[in-house]
């Protein structure tokens, strides 16, 4: 199977995915990395790994769907079977989601359904929970509400700061995201209503 990674920022999850694919721990081919940010370091990571890297300027489009139609066009050229979001900060349009139904994976830095939104780690830390951690889920029309694939609990210690917690969660993300991608690529995930079974 062929997959694409969409990223907007530094790309640490992308690097974990690249490393896992090179080591044979993801049985799928990463064909292209696409960003909506010209200076996204994720693009440099892709080029360094000899993976095509594409920047699409959002200002060239009148609305989100127009952008996503162009994005889908690029993915078709690379014969992409499924899509992985790695720090991609644009909301996907309903049009795009319908092009890849139950074929878009995302990772969120909290144990969903708790602490949805842009600041999942900070919100969990500020709330004072004792356990948080990342969630890999399918993308649906509703933000951070798709069916959950994998989660890894991360304990918040009394000595933790927001920065140390973020580092712990990133390490957990780098463990579970490549695993979830590989499970999907090998046809090991079965969606049953709201639940995802590993078969």
Answer yes or no: 137 catalytic. no
The one catalytic residue in 10, 108, 137, 170 is: 108
Residue partners of 38: CB distance under 8 A and separation at least 6: 55, 57
What is the location of CATH 3.40.50.170 in the chain?
A: 1-101, 106-199
Q: Give the span between the Cα atoms of 133 and 61, in whole angstroms.
A: 36
pLDDT level of residue 140 (50, 70, 90 thresholds): very high
Residue partners of 155: CB distance under 8 A and separation at least 6: 130, 131
| Each residue's pLDDT tens digit, 3-12 | 999 999 999 9
Helix, strand, coil proportions of the chain in percent (round to 5)?
Answer: 35, 20, 40
Residue 193 pLDDT = 95
Give the pTM: 0.96
**Which CATH number does 1-101 carry?**
3.40.50.170
CATH superfamily assigned to domain 106-199: Formyl transferase, N-terminal domain (3.40.50.170)
| Each residue's pLDDT tens digit, 53-110 | 999 999 999 999 999 999 999 999 999 999 999 999 999 999 999 999 999 999 999 9
Q: Which helix (H) or strand (E) holds 108?
A: strand 104-108
Q: Give the span between the Cα atoms of 164 and 79, in whole angstroms.
A: 39
């Amino acid at each position: 199977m062929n997959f694409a990674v969409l990223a907007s920022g530094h790309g640490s999850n992308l690097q974990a995915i690249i490393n896992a694919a090179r080591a044979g721990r993801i049985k799928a081919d990463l064909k292209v990395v696409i960003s909506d940010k010209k200076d996204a370091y994720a693009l440099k990571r892709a080029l360094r790994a000899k993976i095509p890297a594409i920047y699409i300027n959002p200002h060239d489009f009148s609305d989100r769907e127009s952008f996503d139609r162009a994005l889908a066009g690029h993915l078709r050229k690379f014969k992409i079977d499924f899509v992985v979001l790695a720090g991609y900060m644009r909301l996907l349009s309903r049009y795009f989601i319908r092009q890849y139904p139950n074929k878009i994976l995302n990772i969120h830095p909290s144990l969903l359904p708790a602490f949805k939104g842009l600041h999942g780690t900070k919100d969990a830390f500020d709330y004072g929970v004792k356990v948080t951690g990342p969630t890999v889920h399918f993308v649906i029309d509703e933000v951070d509400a798709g069916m959950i694939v994998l989660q890894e609990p991360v304990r918040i210690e009394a000595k933790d700061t927001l920065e140390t917690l973020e580092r712990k969660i990133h390490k957990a993300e780098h463990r579970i995201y490549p695993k979830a991608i590989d499970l999907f690529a090998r046809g090991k995930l079965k969606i049953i209503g709201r639940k995802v079974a590993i078969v």
